[in-house]
Every structure is written in C-alpha cells, then in structure tokens.
Amino acid sequence: MSIWSRISDALKALSQGESLTEVFDRLRTPPQRSVGFAIAVIALGAKMAKADGQVTRDEVTAFREVFQIAQKDEAGAARVFNLARTDVAGYREYARRIAKMFENDRETLCYLMEGLFHIAMADGFYHPGENEFLLEVAEIFGLTPAQFQALRMRYVPDAEADPYAILGVAPDTPLPEVRRAYREMVRNFHPDRMIARGVPSEAIRLAEKRMAEINRAWAEISGDQDAVRHL
C-alpha cells in the first residue's frame, strides 16, 4: 500500500468522525509516523494557503515540490488533498497533535516548518496572514523566536540569509565550534536520518535542499568553497 493510500485512509477516518487524537495516536511509531508527518504538511499547508485569502495554482504545485508523487499515485494524492480541504478540524489542533507526535524530535518539527515556508512562498509573496499563521504554528511546535527567524530568513526574500543563523551559531563563535555545529547539522539533517525519524521518502527533496544550504553556509564562513568536501 502506497503512502498516499495510507494517508487517505487516515483522513477518511477523520471525515467519518474519528478524533484527531485517535488517528494520531495510531501514527506515533514508525513506519506510521511518516503518514502523520505527511498529513501535517498537507493539512497545515492547505489551511495556510487560505491565510492570504486564496489558494493559487502555485501553492497547489508547491505540494508536488515538497512531495515527489509518482504517476501511479497521482489519483491517491488528489484524494488526500481534497480530504484535507474539506476537513473541519482547525489548524491549531493539527499543530498540537503533530507537536505531541514529535515532541522529542525538534529537528523534524523544524523540517516540517520548512515545508510550510516552501508552500507559503510558492506564489512569490509572503502575505502577513501567512506570517501570522506560521508564527503561531512555530510557537505551538515549541520553536524559539530565533529558530523561527532563521527559517524565515532562508525563505523570505526580504530577510537576507545569514550563514551563522543557518548553522545556529553567533557571528563571533570560534571557527572550531562553528565546524562542530556544522557537522552536527549534517548528521541531523542527512536525508537517511530524516527518513528514519519518520519523514516520508516522498518529501526528501526538502532534506536535499536543506543540506545544500548547510554546506553553503559552512563554505561561506570558512572561506573555503571546497571545505565541505574535506570534512
């Protein structure tokens, strides 16, 4: 059974009256956590897309960029998106349930926020309503203001990317400590490790993009564009 069939079954249970608590409790352990992660991105993304008053083709297309959808799974994916659009549960409840699911895995929650930022910027405009939505979800996830700002900095054009912020260190941090932070982020955000945590392989494009940003940040700070090949 494909992930889209499993997601569709979970959302169908919600539409038939089963509570979010019951559904997410079944999805707390691997490999079912990948279904919970995907539902969170789809449901929160679908609700966020309405924060600026409209759902554009660009925002719908952004789902396809977050999730690699094989041709054979397109019909199942379409059913998932339609169920997410019609689900009456509020986004705050979805955010609380997914925060509970990944309460001991802050990196995965940050990763989920990246997917939402990607969808928010799909139409090229960061609407104030989207910022308010994302800020509230980040607070529910337990992210600090600094973590939220670091995410925003990487996706929103008016927020210039700071390589130190990307690596989560202060500008005056000694280079050996920056190197340690870089290596830790490489370990934490490696695609294989993210899949093991419950991020579906269909969403691995985000992991690849994140790794590229981490490597660029280290190269900029170290002053050696080839440095990442020697660590």
> What crossing angle do the helices spanning 128-141 and 106-120 adopt, rounded to 10°?
170
CA-CA distance, 204 to 95, in Å (whole number)? 21
pLDDT of 64-92, one tens digit each? 666 666 677 767 666 666 666 666 567 88
Kindly state the tokens that stand for 137: 């979800």
pLDDT number for residue 231:
47
pLDDT of residue 173: 92
Mean pLDDT across 95-108: 83
Percentage, residues of the chain above pLDDT 90: 10
> Higher-confidence residue: 88 or 129?
129
pLDDT in tens, 110-119: 888 888 888 7
- Structure-block tokens of residue 112: 């989920």
pLDDT of residue 65: 66
Q: Taking a C-beta distance cutoff of 8 angstroms, is the pair 78, 43 a contact?
A: no
Structure tokens, 163: 């390589």
Is residue 97 within 8 Å of 24, Cβ to Cβ?
Answer: yes
Angstrom distance (rounded) from CA 121 to CA 118: 5
C-alpha–C-alpha distance, residues 196 and 130, integer Å: 30
| Least reliable range by pLDDT among 91-95, 137-141, 192-196, 222-226 | 222-226
Among 148, 209, 149, 214, residue whose Cα is nearest residue 182: 214
- Give the closest residue to 30 by CA, choosing from 207, 201, 199, 189: 199
Encoding tokens for residue 134? 């994302």
pTM score, whole prediction: 0.64
Asked if 206 and 66 touch (Cβ cutoff 8 Å), the reply is yes
Q: Which residues contact 127 (CB under 8 A, 6 or more apart)?
A: 51, 52, 53, 120
Which H or E run contains 183? helix 175-188
Q: What pLDDT is attached to residue 3? A: 74
Query: Residue 140 above 90 pLDDT?
Result: yes
pLDDT at position 141 over 90: yes
Contact 35, 109 (CB under 8 A): no
Its sign, for the CA torsion 130, 135, 139, 141, is positive
pLDDT above 50 (res 131) = yes
